[in-house]
Amino acid sequence: MFKFLPLFVLAVAAVAHALPVSEKDEVVPILNSVVNKNDDGSYKASYESGDGTLRDEEATVINAGTPEESLEVKGSYKYINEDGETVEVFYTAGVNGFVPYGSVVNPEITAVAQAAKDLPSNQDSEPEPKAKTYA
């Protein structure tokens, strides 16, 4: 298995070297970046770049110390699209899924995601009885 590793590494290096490099690619500076991680797993992160892109996200722990412990995330991101318009999307995410909303998100997608979020999770249902096996 490991005898093919050097050959693989050389192949990847050759492909990477052969990729075209465009002089049009612009380096976009990061103007602000903050990440705060807490011992319980919660966090707050954000960044802003020189091209107008922003992201802000915060996660909190729910049901701490129980088997149902999880993160609830709320956030948003914003960017300038190819037409020069500002696009902003807000979202929540948790045990029952991801729910986006914003001007570019189809309202039907948001409605379906919101409805699905409110459905009981599989964890709430009774476990199915295990089949008996006979030796």
pLDDT of residue 114: 77
Phi, psi angles (nearest 5°) of residue 14:
-65, -40
The reply to whether 133 falls in a domain is: no
- The yes-or-no verdict on residue 11 having pLDDT over 60 is no
66: Cα within 13 Å, side-chain hemisphere:
9
Residues 81-121 have pLDDT tens digits of 889 989 999 999 998 788 888 878 877 887 887 787 666 65
The reply to whether 17 falls in a domain is: no
| 8 A C-beta contact, residue 46 and residue 34 | yes
The reply to whether 42 falls in a domain is: yes
Q: Tell me the average pLDDT of the chain.
A: 79
The reply to whether 135 falls in a domain is: no
- The yes-or-no verdict on residue 6 having pLDDT over 50 is no
pLDDT, average across residues 39-60? 96
The reply to whether 10 falls in a domain is: no
Structural domain total, the chain:
1
Q: By residue range, what is the domain housing residue 68?
A: 26-120
> Which is higher by pLDDT, 95 or 15?
95
pLDDT, average across residues 53-72? 95
The reply to whether 132 falls in a domain is: no
**3-class state of residue 32 by DSSP:** strand
